Structure 1
Amino acid sequence: MQYIYFLCILIQKGVRLMSYLFPNYSRKPFEIVSGQGLLVQDQKGKTYLDFTSGIGVMNLGHHHPAVEVALAKQAGQIWHMPNLYQSQLQEEVAQALAGELDYVSFFCNSGAEANEAAIKLARKYTGRSQLLTFQQSFHGRTYGAMTATGQATIHAGFEPLVPDFIYGEYNDHKALDLVTEQTAAVMVELIQGEGGVIVAERSWIQQLAKRCQAMGVLLIVDEVQTGIGRTGSLFAFEQFGIQPDIFTLAKGLGNGLPVGAMLGKRELASAFGPGSHGTTFGGNKLALAAAKAVLETMGAPGFLATVGEKGEYLRQGINAIQSAKIVAVRGLGLMVGIQLVSEEVLASVTEQLEAKGLLSLRAGKTVLRLLPALTVSEAELQQALALLAEVLV
């Protein structure tokens, strides 16, 4: 007991001990131990305004009451059963995701798994192997999803990668020529989150979708970060005038519970018969209970409209900051990127914001990324803008 006591004292004082974890994360020297809404506290009691949402996960904020109630109710019934049995909860969440569209769902545990499922489905359904993705994209860290990711730094040291992936330039009309009769699918983000919060040009995306349709190629939209209300609509593709053949979800779907989903048009279901693909934990009862509560909350009248309004307020506020450090402000809804003049400035800005109590993210090499919970208040937006002004001016 005495050892545990002194260990706790050392942790509270921020003393770094020998770790039993792989060093594959650059971790901050503090731990977030509690949270409510957009406010979180570290082990020393310091409070921060969380504009990361756990990298776009806590879309309803920390400790959202509807999610807590759903989890407590499900925890009192049963936590997990494998996909050997019927699941009414999966059916209900799948129906809520599909809405008026005729999609079927496959549930998994993460965005990378959802993208792996999409790659497998596209190849199996079309009988083709080639996939087109885009430079600076990010689709995950598993082998298929990592290969789909158009970033050499993420590939480095893990070759050989999955064969038959090619990469086009994002928002470049020349990339349309890469879609041929040999292509199984095109996988694209409507906003490249990790790549620097780069928004797709609406006309380019629409032409890409038409090209895919003409060539019998499946269009996969990766909505892992943009989906579940982040951009002001349940799915970002609703604002681009397209309907993908397949789209993938994760992050905000479970508001902190690990859950992903791959949705495909109903006619694709024939390619995923019994035994073709599976997962032990996918569709877990607790995760799906959280997902159902998230979707019901976001389905309330006016909820998603407020996301667009808040996002516009935040971007206008940033644009009003007169700073030589800012190159551009981009985004949609509450997915906002501030491109700064250099990597050094970005590192300094994020460090200063953290010291002042605002948690933020990086994207690409020079972009400050802001992903506040969709429930952020006007007062919290004003507080964040004031801190940004202090650091950026």
Structure 2
Amino acid sequence: MSGQQRFRDAMFSYAPTPLRVLVRGEGARVWDDQGTEYLDFLAGIAVNALGHAHPVFVEAVSRQAGRIAHVSNYFASEPQLELAERLKRLTGGDAVFFGNSGTEVIEAAIKVSRRTGRTRILTLEKSFHGRSTGALAITGKDSYRTPFEPLIPGPEFLPSTVEALENAIGPDVAALVLEPIKGEAGALDLPEGYLAAARALTAKHGALLILDEIQTGAGRTGDWFAFQRDGIVPDLLALAKGIGGGFPIGALVAFGPVKDLLQPGDHGTTFGGNPLATATANAVLGEIERADLVGNARAMGELIRAGLAALDHPAITDVSGRGLLVGIGLDGPHAGAVATRALELGLIVNAAAEDRIRLAPPLTITAADVDRFFDLFPQALAATESSDS
């Protein structure tokens, strides 16, 4: 029985086509059950920061699984405390809450905002913050939200302009929630200076600034965290994906007195911060730091952008994002065709929107991997011509 048929028989919700059953990986490459090799320029959607089967990741999981994997939050563990202290150092934050995913820590952030006594939440059009009913309520994609309404009341969706924010914000706003780069929209950038203006306006009106760096965090943009490039300090920072390098974990970092808004018993999670997840995240972040993969993300991102500019392909309208979160705008709804053709050629990229391709390769990619990408991607762009016909 084929992998697609097994998928249809055993699972639901996710589309089975075009499905490949992947069985192993190494670095920036993966292989399916037919032995076909692929260059992975999506990394599990910005998750596999160290690539596949990195020895540091493998050793950390194996070592901690042989010691203690789960203890519940009735107890602390050394890996949990070490990771909290590491994240405080890397972010400049004051306290950390651990969950199991980005969605889960966004839910925690929403609950923190309710403790301000206000209920209005401002967020941005084309934003994405998760699929649970709370996180979905602040996600700026109508097609995701509408089938499940009514959701929690209060969120309002703004264009990504300082003027729109100035007109909307007031003393009744609990929080502004935003992504420094809109990952699920195709790595769309915010206007220059927007984060600084958002920080100033939220501070003026006593609202929380909640940054969703679930995709942009852990070095992906060429800085440890995207907000650091703008020289601001948020109130809450949501992290997940790359901090675990493939192991499920989320973290909500609090800055300043906001850490006291949730009291013991206000929020919790059975598996959040378990020793296995936190030991793995410590190893992943430690390797990113040791090997200067933040610098590599910056350098390889520049190499990719230079290569895309050199292509001068008529179907490419713009290139967005920073570091190794790259958005490629197309001149029509061709992204699905391009991603499908890329897969046929042995290249994994993502159609984040009808007219945008997203790249989010491992932070460990090399110049040779980038060269291979440019061997394949121009061929995939030929699908823009056939999808026009």
For the aligned pair, the TM-score class normalised by the smaller chain equals: over 0.9
Residue of structure 2 in register with 1:113 after alignment: 104
Residue 104 (str. 1) matches residue 118 (str. 2): no
> Aligned residue for 2:353?
364
One of 191, 199, 205 as aligned partner of 2:189: 199
Structure 1 residue runs of 5 or longer lacking an equivalent are 1-9
Equivalent position of 2:246 in the other structure: 256
**Aligned-partner Cα distance in 1 for 2:357–2:284:** 27
| Alignment partner, residue 224 of structure 2 | 234
RMSD of Structure 2 on Structure 1 (CA): 1.5
User: Where do 1:124-203 residues align within 5 Å?
Assistant: 124=115, 126-203=116-193
Instruction: Say whether 1:50 aligns with 2:43.
Output: no
Alignment of 1:1-393 (within 5 A): 10-11=1-2, 19-99=9-89, 101-124=92-115, 126-300=116-290, 302-343=292-333, 345-392=334-381
Say if 1:173 and 1:204, in contact at 8 Å, map to a contact too.
Answer: no
Cα distance change, pair 21–104 in 1 and its aligned pair in 2 (3 A):
same
Aligned CA distance change for structure 1 residues 18 and 86 (closer, same or farther; 3 Å): closer
Alignment CA distance shift 1:18-1:350 (3 Å): closer
CA gap of 1:349–1:87, structure 2 versus 1, over 3 A, is: same
Alpha carbons 1:190, 1:221 under 8 Å: kept? yes
Asked if structure 2 preserves the Cα contact closer than 8 Å seen for 1:202 and 1:240, the reply is no
Q: CA deviation at 1:303?
A: 3.0
Moved more, 232-241 or 167-176: 167-176
Q: In the alignment, is the contact (CA less than 8 A) between 1:38 and 1:49 conserved in 2?
A: yes
Between the aligned residues of both structures, percent identity stands at 37
- Does structure 1 retain, via aligned residues, the 8 Å contact 2:195–2:227? no
**Once superposed, which parts of structure 1, at least 4 consecutive aligned residues long, lie more than 3 Å away?**
14-18, 23-27
SS of alignment partner, residue 277 of structure 1: coil
Tell me the SS of whatever aligns to 2:9.
coil
Q: Alpha-carbon deviations, 1:192-227, whole Å to 9, x = none? A: 011121111231221111000111111000000000
CA distance in 2, matches of 1:51, 1:17: 24
* Post-superposition CA distance 1:223-280 (Å, at most 9, x none): 0000011101111111122111101000111111110001111412222221110000
1:15 Cα shift?
5.2
SS, match of residue 85 in structure 1: coil
Counterparts of 1:73 and 1:198, CA distance in 2? 39
Bigger drift between 382-391 and 102-111 goes to: 382-391
Shift in Å at residue 301 of structure 1? 6.0
Structure 2 alignment gaps of length 5 or more: 383-389
| Secondary structure class of the residue paired with 2:308 | helix
Q: Distance in 1 between matches of 2:335 and 2:182?
A: 18
Once the two structures are overlaid, the 10-residue window that deviates more, 65-74 or 181-190, is 65-74
User: Compared with structure 1, are the counterparts of its residues 301 and 258 closer, same or farther at alpha carbon in structure 2 (3 Å cutoff)?
Assistant: closer
Instruction: Report the residue type matching 2:139 in the other structure.
Output: T
Counterpart code for 1:389: P
Secondary structure class of the residue paired with 1:211 = helix
